[in-house]
């Protein structure tokens, strides 16, 4: 159904971005303010807030009883069979994303007003933040691959701008650049997948593509899987999976609300959303599904293991995000797209809460991010502590908080689905154990024990202002109750409907769904109990090690063996730089520039020029200016001519 | 005389009239504004206005050349002043007339010596470029093609940097080598035409009717292709370009990148492929390979540069690789993309050269290492630079994306059809490398932005830099408008060339490829039909 309401949802943040962006540039140019952070914050928050309210209205009123509503403002590109309309579509899948994105964005915009207070570039900050929401909405609501791609790269741009927001710090600017380029590697895969699909399908609309692979797939098995894997490469870039996850930990250089919004709750989940969006294609590509499953599982374990040894509060959360995204891909790879989206949603709540909580902590600590110098903060900032703890319990998977339902469902589906695997289930279970451990380690080191920072820091410890704690409370509440809309039938004995599944299911199971092997209830219950036991185990170990930390944490530089490997993140960054980045640079300079361009090509050109010079030089020797010599040439020539005539003819 | 002739005549007349003005400013006078500058600006603006009349009267739905004028010059040799314009040339024509006033405006401060001459040459250059785009007689085309060298020779040779003589000689020698090959080819064609039709002719339309044996076609194509490839420039004939760009004054670089390089691409699309269709198809894999090498190689070299202008120059080689790739794919998407990309490149690279030039005017250096942290000092300049950078790295929403996307998509479609027909994997591999250009492109541009604009502002000399002036702002605004206009709503541009390109593809696309590609749309129809059904069910 055509509905222009959607246009307002999408464009409001853009209007905010343009307004604040223009003012930010003018302010910087004229060195005086048209308006400052206060008005900028209000404009940005209002734009996103209204967008959220309109989204609620669109989803629950306009869309009720309908499969989807859409809006097509104009046709973008139309050449031959390539027809790309700018179409925004809200169906039951994008509706969930829409609400999560605009909802969490509103909360984080509000939080930002307090957080960015006093920064000279706050107007620019709000402009970028709004622009991000706009791009994210394009990504979610775009009904064809190119429009989706506009949002896909648009969020990448905003991520780049916001990571490097404090660009005067070279390291932060470099982190932004790294994020953009690593994302581009993923986009390279996405583009190839899109081309391959277009060459075969002849259309790029999402429903057209899904329908093609579902109903009349004329591509061979091999190429169908190639297409799936190409798209998934795009997802590994955006959603920070192996081998392209390296940008996300560095992205923590950005302001903390940005980490919460972009690098935890919304943008990084785009890859999961995309896989669910193209479930028709992925279900036709079992090998690609398997790749998704395994990459997800290995990433989940791998980055959870790195998180065990990190001391930077934001880095722990960053690796945790990578790991949780791995869980989502495990679910998607097992064919449980509903669960993947469910975990995406619950994760958005508790991870945003954790990041904002860490922002509150960092704020109080005067910029310190190392948990070795924290400790005992719970008495100074009770609101931050309680919300952080609740979110931790949620992510660790304790019932009945949000994370329990989604994570348990993932493990169950990986265990039982025809696309799943028992080994992957085991990997996931170990990753879940690690999750509970590193999260509680973080909580104990930050909030319990004695304060380990400087006296001056201790003096300044304070609870954050209301603009920051209220968002924390909202997100903490959602972390607690957010999972209740998706309670599995098994637990409620069918008494409570699984709202989430009923809502999203039709959209992501439209093009076939995966068969779940039949197990007795006993197996299911015992697996669930095991999930809970794992969470308890992780908590207990962390508690016994870090609750009342007496001794100082060891100096990471003195680590040996496995801890050294984990502390250094498996040296992946170093390996990439040494074996990929540096060779490209040195190939460019030493081979392409100095040898092939300067020596070979220019050498040949200049060589032929100097060659002519030499030939000319030989002839110029004869031009002596000496009359006798010329006379000699003349007679010599005449003689030759005479001889020629005499003897040859 | 028709309106199209006026667009040629106005700059030519302007140049001639300016010659008779007294040389008020001596070789040494230092004044920022100059009467000659304003005259040149007025003349080029007038040309632009007339060209807009051409554009507004242009009929999108016509295949044939429009605004044709045909005046006999030396009829016994078939030399006619025959001009006209169609959907393939109109955008490049407009690009030229719109870029010109902007470049004139951008020269006011940079050019401080021999101003009168400088503007005369600029206007003369405009005349020759426009002439080459509208020529419909091969001989006239060749005359304009070669005439273009003369003003460029002086522009770089007199107003260039320290190594300008080396750069000028290199530029001219490279180009002339190719052009002479083409001249030989042109004469051969004319003789062929006489043998066939009984009289000399250089008319495009007539020459297209020639039935040339493939073997001969290959030789002729090689001669023409060499001339075009040097002009584009394609790997491995590109080394004149960075030198010419670095030494040229800003306006020279803008025109060079914006329009002159397009002559090579235009030559391929207007002459190379149509005249020697079979040879072009045989050579297509080679041309596409060179194009892809150019994409990757140019990007790698851009990465290795420490001079801003050289970096932009090498990025041109990479960008134009895309254009050639698309032209030889011979699908409507790719060719429209290529033509649009020529315009896009004129906009984004032209703007980059302007921006680098503005920085140079302030600091008299282009070394990346001399900068750092400029974003804080020059916020508006940095913002504009960022927007243009994004257009250059083809971020969706900017003009660069539409062009690059269409080229890659259309070329992939052709490569896939070849794969299905004869299991030919080679072109698919080429496409993978071509697409990898999006990574390298982002790398060298963003790395440069980081080194110039971000980080702490350490260099003392940069602490007093002034942000954009009003004149500079006015120069840059049109570029920004086009970046977003083409990026968000490319329809007016694409629809100008749609009919012409479709007709073109219809004629020159190989039959086998055509048949292979026709199968795909049938799928589409069934799918669209089906999805509609699905929608209506609910």
Q: Up-side HSE of residue A485: CA atoms within 13 Å toward CB? A: 17
Which chain B residues are Cβ-neighbours of A589 within 8 angstroms? 304
Contact B333 A587 (CB under 8 A): no
Q: Are A86 and A71 in contact (CB under 8 A)?
A: no
CB atoms within 10 A of CB B351: 29
How many Å lie between the alpha carbon of B529 and the closest alpha carbon of chain A? 10
Which chain A residues are Cβ-neighbours of B467 within 8 angstroms? 29
Contact A597 B396 (CB under 8 A): no
Which chain A residues are Cβ-neighbours of B333 within 8 angstroms? 79-80, 82
Which chain B residues are Cβ-neighbours of A77 within 8 angstroms? 402, 406, 490-491, 494
Contact B396 A588 (CB under 8 A): no
Contact B524 A202 (CB under 8 A): yes
- A positions 349-388 inside 8 Å of B (CB): none
Angle at alpha carbon of residue A464, lines to A462 and A465, rounded to 5°: 125
Contact A592 B490 (CB under 8 A): no
Q: Kindly tell me if the per-residue pLDDT of A590 is higher than 80.
A: yes
Residue for token pair 């955008």: B91
Angle at alpha carbon of residue A319, lines to A316 and A322, rounded to 5°: 150
Q: Are A263 and A202 in contact (CB under 8 A)?
A: no
Contact A207 B439 (CB under 8 A): no
- Residue B462 is predicted with a pLDDT of 85
Which chain B residues are Cβ-neighbours of A602 within 8 angstroms? 239
- Residue B186 is predicted with a pLDDT of 92
Which chain A residues are Cβ-neighbours of B456 within 8 angstroms? 168-170
Tokens of B117: 């001459």
- Residue A4 is predicted with a pLDDT of 85
Nearest-CB residue to B380 (from A29, A589, A601): A29
Q: What is the pLDDT of residues A16-40, one digit of tens each?
A: 999 999 998 888 877 777 788 888 9
Contact B333 A79 (CB under 8 A): yes
Which chain A residues are Cβ-neighbours of B373 within 8 angstroms? 168
Which chain B residues are Cβ-neighbours of A218 within 8 angstroms? 523
Q: Which of B394, B491, B480 is nearest to A73 (CA)?
A: B491
Which chain A residues are Cβ-neighbours of B376 within 8 angstroms? 168
- Among chain B residues, the shortest Cα distance to A606 is held by B170
Q: Are B326 and B366 in contact (CB under 8 A)?
A: no
Q: What is the pLDDT of residues A351-363, one digit of tens each?
A: 999 999 999 999 8
How far is A227 from A239, CA to CA, in rounded Å?
A: 18
Which chain A residues are Cβ-neighbours of B453 within 8 angstroms? 167
DSSP for A405-452 reads HHHHHHHHHHHHBTT--HHHHHHHHHHHHHHHHHHHHHHHHHHSS---
Q: Are A9 and A54 in contact (CB under 8 A)?
A: yes
Tokens of B40: 């040149």
Cα A48 to chain centroid distance, Å, stands at 21
DSSP for B388-410 reads HHHHHTT-BTBHHHHHHHHHHHH
Residue for token pair 């609309």: A205
Nearest-CB residue to B406 (from A79, A157, A191): A79
Sequence-ordered list of residues with C-beta below 8 angstroms from that of B489, at least 6 positions apart, any chain: A74, A76
Q: Are A296 and A332 in contact (CB under 8 A)?
A: yes
How far is A58 from A493, CA to CA, in rounded Å?
A: 33
**Does A581 touch chain B if contact means CB atoms closer than 8 Å?**
no
How many Å lie between the alpha carbon of A424 and the closest alpha carbon of chain B? 32
Q: Are A263 and A321 in contact (CB under 8 A)?
A: yes
**Does A208 touch chain B if contact means CB atoms closer than 8 Å?**
yes
**Does A168 touch chain B if contact means CB atoms closer than 8 Å?**
yes
Site from A79, A81, A165 to mutate, B interface, most B CB atoms within 10 angstroms: A79
**Reported confidence tier of residue A67, pLDDT bands at 50, 70, 90:** confident
Nearest-CB residue to A25 (from B239, B383, B397): B383
Average pLDDT over residues A539-543: 91
- Among chain A residues, the shortest Cα distance to B524 is held by A202
Strands B79-85 and A68-79: unpaired
% of chain A beyond a pLDDT of 90: 53
pTM of the model: 0.92
- Residue B181 is predicted with a pLDDT of 92
Average pLDDT over residues A372-378: 86
Q: Is the CA virtual torsion A537, A538, A541, A544 positive or negative?
A: negative
Residue ranges of chain B with pLDDT lower than 50? 27-28, 32, 521-538
How many Å lie between the alpha carbon of A538 and the closest alpha carbon of chain B? 41
Contact B380 A585 (CB under 8 A): no
**Does A326 touch chain B if contact means CB atoms closer than 8 Å?**
no
DSSP for B239-301 reads THHHHHHHHS-HHHHHHIIIIIHHHHHHHIIIIIHHHTHHHHHHHHHHHHHHHHHHHHHHHHH
How many Å lie between the alpha carbon of A108 and the closest alpha carbon of chain B? 26
How far is B421 from B513, CA to CA, in rounded Å?
A: 8
Q: Are A377 and A446 in contact (CB under 8 A)?
A: yes
Tokens of B50: 């007339």
CB atoms within 10 A of CB B275: 21
Tokens of A541: 């170990």
**Does A79 touch chain B if contact means CB atoms closer than 8 Å?**
yes
How many Å lie between the alpha carbon of A117 and the closest alpha carbon of chain B? 19
Contact B534 A211 (CB under 8 A): yes
How far is A337 from A330, CA to CA, in rounded Å?
A: 10
**Does A502 touch chain B if contact means CB atoms closer than 8 Å?**
no
**Does A181 touch chain B if contact means CB atoms closer than 8 Å?**
yes
Contact A585 B442 (CB under 8 A): no
Q: Are B182 and B227 in contact (CB under 8 A)?
A: yes
Q: Identify whether B435 is preceded by a cis peptide bond (ω within 30 of 0).
A: no
How far is A197 from B34, CA to CA, in rounded Å?
A: 57
Find the radius of gyration of the CA atoms of chain A: 31
Nearest-CB residue to B527 (from A152, A188, A212): A212
One-letter-per-residue 3-state SS of A335-398: CCHHHHHHHHHHHHHHHHHHHHHHHHHHHHCCCCCEHHHCCCHHHCCHHHHHHHHHHHHHHHCC
Sequence-ordered list of residues with C-beta below 8 angstroms from that of A366, at least 6 positions apart, any chain: A457, A460
Residue for token pair 């899987």: A225
- Among chain A residues, the shortest Cα distance to B488 is held by A76
Contact B397 A150 (CB under 8 A): yes
Give A514's DSSP letter. Answer: P
- In the predicted model, what is the mean pLDDT of chain A? 89
How many angstroms separate the most distant Cα atoms in chain B? 81
How many Å lie between the alpha carbon of A211 and the closest alpha carbon of chain B? 7
DSSP for A21-56 reads HHHHHHHHHHTS-SS-HHHHHHHHHHHHHHHHHHHH
Q: What is the pLDDT of residues A165-203, one digit of tens each?
A: 999 898 999 999 999 999 999 999 999 999 999 999 888
- Residue B521 is predicted with a pLDDT of 46
Give B28's DSSP letter. Answer: S
């Amino acid at each position: 159904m055509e509905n222009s309401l959607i246009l307002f949802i999408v464009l409001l943040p853009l209007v905010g971005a343009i307004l604040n962006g223009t003012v930010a540039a003018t302010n910087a140019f004229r060195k005086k303010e048209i308006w400052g952070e206060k008005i900028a914050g209000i404009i940005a928050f209002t734009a996103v807030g209204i967008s959220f309210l309109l989204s609620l209205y669109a989803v629950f009123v306009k869309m009720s009883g309908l499969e989807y509503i859409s809006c097509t403002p104009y046709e973008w590109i139309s050449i031959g069979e390539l027809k790309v309309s700018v179409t925004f579509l809200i169906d039951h899948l994008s509706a969930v994303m829409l609400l999560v994105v605009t909802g969490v964005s509103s909360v984080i915009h509000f939080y930002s007003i307090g957080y960015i207070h006093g920064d000279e570039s706050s107007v620019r900050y709000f402009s970028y933040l709004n622009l991000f929401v706009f791009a994210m909405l394009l990504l979610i609501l775009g009904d064809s691959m190119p429009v989706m791609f506009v949002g896909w790269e648009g969020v990448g741009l905003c991520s780049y701008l916001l990571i490097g927001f404090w660009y005067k710090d070279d390291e932060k600017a470099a982190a932004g650049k790294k994020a953009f380029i690593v994302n581009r590697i993923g986009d390279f895969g996405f583009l190839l997948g899109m081309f391959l699909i277009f060459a075969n399908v002849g259309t790029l609309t999402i429903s057209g593509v899904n329908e093609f692979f579902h109903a009349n797939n004329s591509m061979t098995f091999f190429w169908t899987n190639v297409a799936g894997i190409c798209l998934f490469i795009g997802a590994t870039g955006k959603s920070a999976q192996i081998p392209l996850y390296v940008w996300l930990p560095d992205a923590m250089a950005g302001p903390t609300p940005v980490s919460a919004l972009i690098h935890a709750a919304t943008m990084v989940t785009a890859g999961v959303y995309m896989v669910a969006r193209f479930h028709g294609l992925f279900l036709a590509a079992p090998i690609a599904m398997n790749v998704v499953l395994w990459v997800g599982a290995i990433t989940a374990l791998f980055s959870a293991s790195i998180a065990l040894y990190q001391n930077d509060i934001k880095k722990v959360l960053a690796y945790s995000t990578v790991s949780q995204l791995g869980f989502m891909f495990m679910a998607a790879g097992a064919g449980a797209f509903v669960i993947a989206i469910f975990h995406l949603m619950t994760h958005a709540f508790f991870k945003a809460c954790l990041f904002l909580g860490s922002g509150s902590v960092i704020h109080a600590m005067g910029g310190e991010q190392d948990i070795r110098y924290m400790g005992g903060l719970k008495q100074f900032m009770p609101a931050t502590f309680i919300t952080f703890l609740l979110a931790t319990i949620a992510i660790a998977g304790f019932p009945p908080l949000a994370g329990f339902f989604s994570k348990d469902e993932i493990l169950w589906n990986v265990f039982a689905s025809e696309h799943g695997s028992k080994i992957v289930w085991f990997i996931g279970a170990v990753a879940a154990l690690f999750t509970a451990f590193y999260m509680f380690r973080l909580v104990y080191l930050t909030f319990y024990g004695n304060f380990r920072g400087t006296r001056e820091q201790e003096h300044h410890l304070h609870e954050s202002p209301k603009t920051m704690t209220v968002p924390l409370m909202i997100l903490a509440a959602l972390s607690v109750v957010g999972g209740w809309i998706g309670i599995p039938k098994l637990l409620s004995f069918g008494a409570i409907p699984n709202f989430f599944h009923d809502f999203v299911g039709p959209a992501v199971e439209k093009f076939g769904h995966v068969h779940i092997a039949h197990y007795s209830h006993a197996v299911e219950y015992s697996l669930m109990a095991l999930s809970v036991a794992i969470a308890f185990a992780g908590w207990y170990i962390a508690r016994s090690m870090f609750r009342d930390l007496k001794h100082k944490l060891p100096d990471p530089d003195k680590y040996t063996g496995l801890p050294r490997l984990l502390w250094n993140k498996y040296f992946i960054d170093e390996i990439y730089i040494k074996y990929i980045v540096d060779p490209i640079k040195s190939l460019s300079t030493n081979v392409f520039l100095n040898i092939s361009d300067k020596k070979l090509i220019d050498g040949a050109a200049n060589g032929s020029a100097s060659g002519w010079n030499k030939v000319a030089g030989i002839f110029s020797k004869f031009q002596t200016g000496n009359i006798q010599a010329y006379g000699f040439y003349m007679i010599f020539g005449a003689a030759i001519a005479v001889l020629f005539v005499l003897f040859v003819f | 005389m028709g309106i199209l002739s006026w667009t040629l005549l106005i700059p030519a007349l302007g140049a001639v009239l300016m010659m008779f003005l007294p040389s008020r400013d001596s070789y040494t006078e230092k004044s920022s504004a100059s009467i000659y500058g304003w005259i040149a600006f007025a003349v080029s603006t007038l040309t632009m206005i007339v060209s807009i009349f051409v554009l507004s009267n242009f009929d999108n739905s016509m295949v044939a050349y429009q605004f044709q004028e045909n005046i006999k010059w030396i009829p016994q040799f078939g030399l006619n002043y025959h001009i006209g314009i169609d959907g393939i040339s109109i955008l490049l024509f407009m690009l030229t007339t719109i870029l010109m006033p902007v470049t004139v405006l951008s020269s006011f401060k940079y050019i401080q010596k021999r101003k009168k001459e400088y503007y005369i040459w600029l206007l003369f250059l405009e005349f020759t470029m426009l002439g080459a785009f509208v020529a419909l007689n091969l001989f006239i085309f060749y005359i304009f093609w070669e005439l273009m060298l003369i003003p460029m020779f002086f522009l770089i040779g007199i107003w260039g940097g320290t190594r300008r003589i080396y750069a000028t000689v290199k530029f001219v020698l490279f180009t002339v080598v190719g052009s002479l090959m083409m001249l030989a080819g042109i004469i051969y064609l004319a003789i062929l035409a006489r043998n066939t039709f009984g009289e000399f002719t250089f008319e495009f339309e007539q020459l297209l009717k020639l039935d040339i044996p493939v073997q001969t076609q290959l030789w002729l194509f090689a001669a023409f292709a060499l001339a075009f490839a040097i002009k584009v420039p394609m790997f491995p004939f590109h080394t004149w370009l960075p030198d010419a760009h670095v030494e040229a004054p800003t306006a020279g670089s803008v025109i060079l990148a914006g329009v002159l390089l397009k002559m090579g691409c235009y030559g391929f699309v207007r002459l190379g492929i149509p005249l020697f269709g079979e040879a072009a198809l045989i050579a297509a894999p080679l041309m596409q390979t060179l194009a892809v090498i150019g994409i990757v190689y140019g990007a790698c070299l851009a990465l290795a540069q420490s001079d801003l202008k050289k970096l932009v120059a090498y990025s041109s080689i990479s960008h134009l690789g895309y254009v050639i790739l698309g032209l030889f794919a011979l699908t409507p998407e790719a060719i429209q993309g290529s033509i649009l990309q020529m315009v896009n490149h004129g906009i984004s690279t032209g703007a980059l050269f302007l921006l680098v030039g503005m920085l140079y005017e302030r600091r008299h250096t282009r070394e990346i290492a001399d900068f750092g942290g400029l974003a804080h000092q020059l916020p508006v300049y940095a913002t504009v630079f960022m927007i243009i950078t994004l257009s250059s790295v083809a971020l969706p929403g900017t003009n660069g994306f539409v062009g690059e996307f269409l080229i890659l998509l259309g070329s992939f479609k052709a490569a896939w059809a070849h794969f299905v027909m004869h299991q030919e994997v080679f072109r698919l591999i080429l496409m993978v490398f071509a697409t990898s250009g999006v990574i390298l492109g982002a790398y060298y541009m963003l790395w440069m932005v980081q080194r110039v604009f971000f980080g702490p502002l350490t260099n003392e000399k940069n602490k007093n830099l002034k942000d954009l002036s009003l004149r500079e702002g006015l120069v840059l605004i049109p570029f920004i408008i086009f970046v977003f206009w083409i990026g968000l709503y490319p329809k007016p541009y694409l629809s100008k060339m749609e009919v012409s390109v479709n007709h073109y593809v219809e004629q020159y696309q190989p039959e086998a490829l055509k048949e292979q590609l026709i199968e795909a749309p049938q799928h589409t129809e069934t799918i669209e039909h089906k999805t509609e059904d699905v929608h209506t069910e609910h």
